[in-house]
Amino acid sequence: MMMHGTLMLRIGVMAACALAAVMSPARSSGQVPPVASGSSDKTVKLFGATGAETHSFLAHEGAVTALIFTPDGRRIISAGEDQTVKVWNVDDGSLENSIDAHEKPVTCLSLTADGATLASGAADGKIKLWNPTTGKLIRTIAAHARAVRTLAWSPDGATLASGGDDRVIQVWRPDGSQVASVVGHDEPVTGLAWSADGKSLISGAADGYVKVWNVGDFGLAARYRTADRSLSALVSSVDGQLIATAGTDGRIRIWTVSGTSITELVSKMLDRRIQCMAWSRDGKVLVTGGSDRSLRYWNIQDLSVVLKINAHEGAVTAVAVNPG
């Protein structure tokens, strides 16, 4: 039986799911970034540099809500509606560790750039900080009045930003003390990203706006209307120079980031809703998942589809790109 806040070891490779991914003719020649995807069908799947499925396993007892690779690319960390956080071996798909993390569904994850501290957020409004290697609980933060929806560590790992259904953006130090609290949007905050220099914090929300905050005083530096309806996802490239946004209106946008300003580079209206996104390490490919159960790899110059994979039996609810 799993004890709260402790890490348990399970041995053995999980049985692969019967349904294999199917690659569409949209695939171009050459390699694509290795990807992990999670779904409402409770599975996590790993895809290699050719787009071929390498592992598939039943990961959680409910929908998979978040995925993140460790910096060395050797492990994938998943979160689920079953209130757990799990660590998987990328080489063989085996479950290495399982954390009985929260008393409500886990909604989001963020890992410091050095991989030393994992933050999990949940529907109970709490943030928990963990040592991802040992599974030891470092700290619990009573962060939001409602569910935590998004987390983002600053580039130097000195501060953690959180956004919630309470429409508030909170900024924390690793010791749990608060740096700032901003009522930033009129609807739940759905995405957060830091600029490369850590001097600006970018937020997106269900009100359809992206806002840029000056970290010095957390004053509003700029705001942009990005979607006719609510914003469903916002992610930053590895170098912090690009962000991607997706709205429930079906439009995907790529923005360049410069200081406290962002400029739209390219956009495209889709016939489907995107629920999750992740960048390749070089910032040339954006991988998305959504309600149509597929993964799509996009060339960010013109938002053409490089590769499409029919990945899951349920909606794709989480995606991560291997940094290795």
137-192 pLDDT, tens digit each: 999 999 999 999 999 999 999 999 999 999 999 999 999 999 999 987 999 999 99
Query: Rounded distance, CA 229 to CA 212, Å?
Result: 19
Amino acid identity for residue 240 in this structure: G
Domain that holds residue 266: 7-26+33-321
| The pair of three-digit structure tokens given for residue 299, joined into one six-digit string | 């060339």
16-45 pLDDT, tens digit each: 222 233 344 344 445 899 999 999 999 999
286-302 pLDDT, tens digit each: 999 998 999 999 999 99
Closest of 146, 68, 76, 145 to residue 112, by C-alpha? 68
Distances in Å between the Cα of 47 and the Cα atoms of 5, 25, 122, 154, 314 are: 31, 17, 27, 28, 17
Whether 2 is covered by a domain: the verdict is: no
CA angle 89, 93, 94 (to 5 degrees): 70
Total of domains in the chain: 1
Whether 1 is covered by a domain: the verdict is: no
Whether 279 is covered by a domain: the verdict is: yes
DSSP one-letter string for 79-126:
EETTSEEEEEETTT-BEEEEEE--SS-EEEEEE-TTS--EEEEETTSE
Whether 311 is covered by a domain: the verdict is: yes
Q: Residue 248: give its domain's CATH number.
A: 2.130.10.10
Whether 13 is covered by a domain: the verdict is: yes
